[in-house]
Structure 1
């Protein structure tokens, strides 16, 4: 599980600083101990400051989960940056974002931080607490009948800030003045309970476990736990004794009161209730710590050790009770989540390694390999070969030309198995540096991230999962990767056709559509190179003939007449270039004209019309039309066993799945008609083949899971 440990320490990243500044901070040592403890429990852990950048950081670290995947969780240690409601800031943000988190909700923290409201709730519930009054200012009259000695403290501060014992009116006013000057807040005045101080830690939800009571033995000095004591600045050592030397009846009583207080304030997961026990053994509730300290010297950790929780075990127990609260009692039950089927093991392995998946995608995306970049393509091909070798895959020389097409297979071979087809070049005439890899909540951006890198990443992830589950050696899998997608597979198509003939089914790693839609039908395409040549003419010459550029533009205006939605045929000019001498009109025009189609016969007829349209018709003019690339269409099949198998796996594991047709031609059209073929199996894209190309983030893990399930063939 992904766990983000969120705390407040150094950062003051807010829009404006104002109001009450936070004085509570976790030490770096404690934060590290918590992180290490969670990692020991098998979790993927990162730490973040709880500031205005938290939302972006969490979006990057824990994107939306897929059905059946364990979601990310925040281990909340945040006391906030500023303001009287600072405890509530991070929990409120997390509730808005829909991210589960450890600990109580913002409403509980608001109640617990306000000691007066807490005491009112306790009294309403019939729970014992010392008599008290609230004085707004140093000169406010004390109207309640309270007996000295008294305790004064700010009404909404924690960790004993401003806490002191006063024995008369002069000390009372002095204590209130200090609190008023320091915190600009009302003062809570309550009767001092002479006796023993006991803390009770609480863990879990319904039922809540009360840990053994811890007694604080103060020795010399004030018999209260001051801020200086907690910071080890008082010059004395406060001893902790656990279990507290209480009678069985007293122990049971404080535990019962602690649980009732926990429930009265609607606390979650963990907390600590502080008591004073008077000379007659009567307990009084002082306050509730809705964020009990997890420092190694804290009472909560000390008591947990006495019942068998070492530090890592305690941290992971807190995670367990939090997950049980959010997701039910069987969330970590091995019978429910880790059944011994091969498919379930693959699912768990892939969904718990999303961070590695995205890191791998980043490494591929940041390696440039544009179609015309021979050096970049060579580097990427070598890296891919290294990865396949580590997966115990073997090259297949008979389906490799060493220039534009390479084929690998598993130990079981690819014959009668699944052939995966992956482009490794990034098409398009691009200039300048590639755009850097970056992530948002739903989309991942980068050059070629969808058109090439997504397919590479999910293929390697699925194969790695199969290997780790000891299933790859028996899986019949072939990998065909090619480097001329940007040239319409002019050189690799023949090799792919031969390799596909060996396989039982073919899956093409081109981007699909959102909502998990693969492509079961694609248009074919033809690309023509047109050259028009004529004599150069002076501008303004009245005599015929018309210059070649004007003639070409006149003809292109008639291209729309060849388009037909009904016949699913489209023709358009993609590139245009003219050549001229000095101030003369162009004497040469070259253009690229593209055609997409479904029906071969319609395409043949349209090609005849195209050639006829651009046939030279003026004296001194010549035209040349050459077919550059031709990619057959992928036609929808009625009986499609691969599609049926994928639909079954998607339904069983609640993965989004559907089918769609596409206007773009791909390698799928090269596959022999009798072979079942699926295209668009890579994650969905937007702005494909542009500098702003993006890949759908959730589908990265969804497609990896679905591919692994299909390849293991259980």
Structure 2
């Protein structure tokens, strides 16, 4: 599970600093111990300050989960940066984000931090607490009949800030004056209970467990636990005795009161209730610490050790308690792997290693391999070959041309099996530096991340999962990767067509659409280079012949009229440039013209019409049309067993799934007509072939899981 340990220590990253500043901080050593304890429990852990950057950090660390996946969780240690209700800030943010977290909710922290409200609730519930009064300022009258000595403390501070024993009116007013000036807050005044101080830690929710009571032995000096004592600045050592030397009846009584207090304030997971026990053995509740300190020398840790919970064990026990509260007891009772079904093992493997999957994707994305970059293509090809060899797959020379297409197969071979097809080049002519990998909550960005890298990562993740379960070598699976997607597969298409005749089905790892939609129909593409040449002509010279640029524009208008919306055929002139000498008119025009289509017969007629348009008899003008790319369409089939199986698997695992048609051609059109094929199996994309190209983050693991499950079925 991903766990973010959130605390407040150094950061003051807020829009404005004002109001009551936080004085409580967790030590770096404690934060380190908590992290190490959680890591020892098999969790993936990162630490973050609880400031205005928290949302962004959690978005990057905790992507939206898929159905059945264990979500991320926050181990909340945050005391807040500023404000009277600072304990509430991080829990409130997490409630809004929908992120589970350790500890009580914001409403409980608000109650517990306000000692006056806490005492009022305790009295309402019939729970014992010292008599008290509230002084708003140093001159406020003491309305209650309280007996000296008294305790003064700020009504909504923690860690014993401002705590003091006063013995008369003069000391009382001095104490209230200090609190008023230091904290700008009302003062809680309560009767001092002479006797013993005992803390009871609480762990759990249903049932709630009271830890053994811990007695604080103060020795000389004030018989209260001061701020200086807690920070080891008082010059004395406060001894902790656990279990506290109480009778069995007294222990049961104080533990029961602690549990009732925990429930009265609607606390969750952990807390600590502080008591004074007078000389007659009567317990009084002083306050509730809704965020019990987890410092190694704290009474909560000390008490947990007495019941056999080491520090590491306690941290992981707290996580289990929190998960049980959010997700139910079944969440804590995973079936032993030997007894799990294979598909469950694959699910657990892939979802638990989502971060590794994204790290792998980042590594692939940060390798530049544009179509025209032979060095980059060689680098990524070598790395992919190395990974496939480590998976135990073998090269297939028959379906490798050594220039633009390479094929590998499992030990069982690919014949009558599944062929996975993935491009390794990034199409498009781009200038400048490659776009680096970056993360957002729902989308991952980077050059070629959707058009190429997502498919590579999905394929390797699925195959790795199968290999870990010792399944891959038994499956009839082939992988064909190619490096000329940006050239319309001019050189690799024949190798692909040959390979697809050997297999039962083909899955093409091109980007799909959001909501888990794959592509079951794609248009074909014909792309032409058109050149119109003529003699150089001076501007203003009278001539009967039309110049080459005018001739091209005239025919381009006629070309546009060949568009056939009803016949699903579209024509586009994509690039136009001209050449001329100095002040002369253009003598040469270059253009790229593309047709996308479904009906191949209609496409042939349109191609013929275009060639006729650019066949001219004008004196001095010459034309040349060359076909650069011809990619057949993928035609939707009525009975599609491959699609039906994928749909059924998706429904069984609550994965999004659907079908969509696409205007863009792909390798799927090259597959033999009688071979079932699904395209768009990679995660959905945005900004495809642009600098803002991105890949849907959740679909990275969804597609990897669906591919692994499908290959396991085969």
1:384 aligns with 2:384: yes
Which has the larger displacement, 104-113 or 464-473? 464-473
- Residue 487 of structure 1 corresponds to which residue in structure 2? 487
1:339 positional shift = 5.6
* Within-5 A mapping of 1:402-417: 402-417=402-417
* Within-5 A mapping of 1:203-222: 203-222=203-222
1:336 positional shift = 10
Q: What CA distance in whole angstroms lies between the structure 1 residues aligned with 2:262 and 2:503?
A: 63
1:617 positional shift = 3.9
Aligned residues: 714
Q: What CA distance in whole angstroms lies between the structure 2 residues aligned with 1:397 and 1:332?
A: 50
* TM-score after normalising by structure 2: 0.99
1:256 positional shift = 1.1
Name structure 1 gaps, 5 residues minimum. Answer: none
- Residue 309 of structure 1 corresponds to which residue in structure 2? 309
1:711 aligns with 2:711: yes
Q: What CA distance in whole angstroms lies between the structure 1 residues aligned with 2:621 and 2:431?
A: 34
- Residue 173 of structure 1 corresponds to which residue in structure 2? 173
1:233 positional shift = 1.1
Contact conserved, 2:685 with 2:693, CA < 8 A, in 1?
yes
- Residue 22 of structure 1 corresponds to which residue in structure 2? 22
Listed one character per residue, the Cα deviations across residues 513-542 of structure 1 (whole Å, up to 9, x for unaligned) are: 000000011111111111111112122234
- Residue 695 of structure 2 corresponds to which residue in structure 1? 695
Listed one character per residue, the Cα deviations across residues 60-95 of structure 1 (whole Å, up to 9, x for unaligned) are: 000111111111101000000111111111111111
Q: What CA distance in whole angstroms lies between the structure 1 residues aligned with 2:256 and 2:503?
A: 69
1:333 aligns with 2:333: yes
RMSD after superposition: 1.2
1:337 positional shift = 9.7
Listed one character per residue, the Cα deviations across residues 278-329 of structure 1 (whole Å, up to 9, x for unaligned) are: 1111111000000000111111111111112111111111111111111111
1:468 aligns with 2:468: yes
Contact conserved, 2:103 with 2:270, CA < 8 A, in 1?
yes
- Residue 434 of structure 2 corresponds to which residue in structure 1? 434
Contact conserved, 1:153 with 1:179, CA < 8 A, in 2?
yes
1:435 positional shift = 1.3
* Within-5 A mapping of 1:387-536: 387-536=387-536
Name structure 2 gaps, 5 residues minimum. Answer: none
- Residue 125 of structure 1 corresponds to which residue in structure 2? 125
Contact conserved, 2:533 with 2:548, CA < 8 A, in 1?
yes
Q: What CA distance in whole angstroms lies between the structure 2 residues aligned with 1:513 and 1:703?
A: 12
1:277 aligns with 2:277: yes
The residue matched to 1:334 in structure 2 has which SS?
coil
Q: What CA distance in whole angstroms lies between the structure 1 residues aligned with 2:198 and 2:512?
A: 62
Listed one character per residue, the Cα deviations across residues 167-219 of structure 1 (whole Å, up to 9, x for unaligned) are: 11111111111111211111110000111111111111122111111111111
1:345 positional shift = 0.4
* Within-5 A mapping of 1:609-648: 609-648=609-648
The residue matched to 2:220 in structure 1 has which SS?
coil
Rate the CA distance shift 1:338–1:646 in 2: closer, same or farther, 3 A: farther
Contact conserved, 1:330 with 1:336, CA < 8 A, in 2?
no
* Within-5 A mapping of 1:256-295: 256-295=256-295
Contact conserved, 1:48 with 1:57, CA < 8 A, in 2?
yes
Q: What CA distance in whole angstroms lies between the structure 1 residues aligned with 2:284 and 2:53?
A: 42
1:618 positional shift = 2.0
Contact conserved, 1:8 with 1:80, CA < 8 A, in 2?
yes
Q: What CA distance in whole angstroms lies between the structure 2 residues aligned with 1:337 and 1:155?
A: 53
- Residue 245 of structure 2 corresponds to which residue in structure 1? 245
Rate the CA distance shift 1:429–1:377 in 2: closer, same or farther, 3 A: same
- Residue 186 of structure 2 corresponds to which residue in structure 1? 186
Listed one character per residue, the Cα deviations across residues 406-459 of structure 1 (whole Å, up to 9, x for unaligned) are: 111111111111111010000001111011111111111111000000000111
Q: What CA distance in whole angstroms lies between the structure 1 residues aligned with 2:217 and 2:534?
A: 104
The residue matched to 1:532 in structure 2 has which SS?
strand
Q: What CA distance in whole angstroms lies between the structure 1 residues aligned with 2:96 and 2:21?
A: 24
The residue matched to 1:626 in structure 2 has which SS?
strand
Q: What CA distance in whole angstroms lies between the structure 2 residues aligned with 1:298 and 1:484?
A: 64
1:559 positional shift = 2.1
* Within-5 A mapping of 1:130-169: 130-169=130-169
Q: What CA distance in whole angstroms lies between the structure 1 residues aligned with 2:452 and 2:25?
A: 46
Q: What CA distance in whole angstroms lies between the structure 2 residues aligned with 1:7 and 1:588?
A: 68
Q: What CA distance in whole angstroms lies between the structure 1 residues aligned with 2:32 and 2:599?
A: 64
Contact conserved, 1:339 with 1:345, CA < 8 A, in 2?
no
Q: What CA distance in whole angstroms lies between the structure 2 residues aligned with 1:338 and 1:229?
A: 52
Q: What CA distance in whole angstroms lies between the structure 2 residues aligned with 1:338 and 1:272?
A: 41
1:355 aligns with 2:355: yes
The residue matched to 1:411 in structure 2 has which SS?
coil
* TM-score after normalising by structure 1: 0.99
The residue matched to 2:590 in structure 1 has which SS?
strand
Q: What CA distance in whole angstroms lies between the structure 2 residues aligned with 1:302 and 1:501?
A: 70
- Residue 91 of structure 2 corresponds to which residue in structure 1? 91
1:338 positional shift = 9.1
Q: Which runs of 4+ in 1 moved over 3 A?
A: 335-339
1:395 positional shift = 1.1
1:267 positional shift = 0.7
The residue matched to 1:562 in structure 2 has which SS?
coil
Contact conserved, 2:337 with 2:345, CA < 8 A, in 1?
no
The residue matched to 1:331 in structure 2 has which SS?
helix
Contact conserved, 1:454 with 1:682, CA < 8 A, in 2?
yes
